């Protein structure tokens, strides 16, 4: 394993009514939480398939949730507590802490079933060979993955998190820093009821 590369997985505890709230009208609170739980474990399985990087699970609202403990035990993950008042502050803290002892850090969420370990490995390669930043955009205007070789808090400031311009705003900030940026093709993630139909067409074995 390359100890100088770390993949950060940002995850919410699968609490009914707290996660995947836009899916609740279709699936109900428990169904939405169960879907979130399955997507989270799928993302972890994808991440740990590679030996090119360390995988750490950054948790909210508490790293002491039983689900996180089980994921840590089953997949040999270190658990960390997300810290900050909003998503930008929490990601900035995780990146800053990780890049203290790593050359490369990447962050992903848990709701993009299209993301593969090969995609992640390719991004790692880009960052190890000249790019300061790499990003995989999401259809909803956010991003599926952000990878950095340098840290700047400006990438996470003055952004409307959850809005339709997160990717574009982040891209502009990276280019303003004069960093070399790799941009991947756009992926979709599971947020809306119509995404459940797309999810059902994929052979992911979410169990």
Residue-level pLDDT at 85 = 95
Mean pLDDT of 90-96: 98
Q: Which domains does the chain have, with CATH numbers?
A: 5-200 (3.90.550.10)
- How would you list the strands of the sheet with 133-137, edge to edge? 78-81, 54-60, 5-12, 104-108, 143-148, 133-137, 181-183
Question: What pLDDT does residue 51 have?
Answer: 87
> Which residues, 6+ apart, have CB-to-CB distance to 195 below 8 Å?
188, 189
Three-class DSSP category at 21: helix
Query: In this structure, are residues 190 and 113 in contact, taking their beta carbons and an 8 Å threshold?
Result: yes
Average pLDDT score, the chain: 94
Q: 94-124: per-residue pLDDT in tens?
A: 999 999 999 999 999 999 999 999 999 999 9
d(CA 187, CA 70): 29
Closest C-alpha among 71, 66, 70 to residue 9? 71
Strands 104-108 and 143-148: antiparallel
Higher-pLDDT residue of 207, 121 = 121
Average pLDDT over residues 14-29: 96
């Amino acid at each position: 394993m390359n100890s100088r590369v770390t993949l950060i997985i940002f995850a919410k505890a699968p609490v009914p009514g707290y996660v995947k709230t836009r899916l609740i009208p279709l699936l109900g609170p428990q169904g939405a939480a169960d879907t979130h739980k399955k997507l989270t474990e799928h993302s972890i399985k994808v991440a740990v398939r590679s030996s090119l990087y360390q995988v750490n699970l950054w948790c909210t609202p508490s790293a002491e949730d039983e689900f996180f403990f089980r994921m840590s035990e089953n997949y040999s993950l270190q658990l960390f507590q997300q810290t900050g008042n909003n998503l930008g502050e929490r990601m900035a803290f995780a990146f800053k802490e990780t890049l203290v002892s790593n050359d490369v850090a990447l962050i992903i969420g848990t709701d993009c079933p299209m993301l593969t370990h090969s995609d992640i490995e390719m991004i790692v390669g880009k960052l190890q060979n000249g790019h300061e930043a790499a990003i995989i955009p999401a259809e909803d205007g956010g991003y599926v993955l952000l990878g950095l070789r340098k840290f700047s808090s400006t990438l996470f400031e003055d952004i409307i998190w959850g809005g339709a311009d997160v990717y574009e705003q982040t891209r502009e900030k990276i280019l303003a820093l004069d960093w070399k940026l790799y941009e991947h093709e756009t992926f979709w993630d599971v947020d809306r009821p119509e995404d459940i139909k797309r999810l059902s067409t994929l052979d992911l074995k979410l169990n």
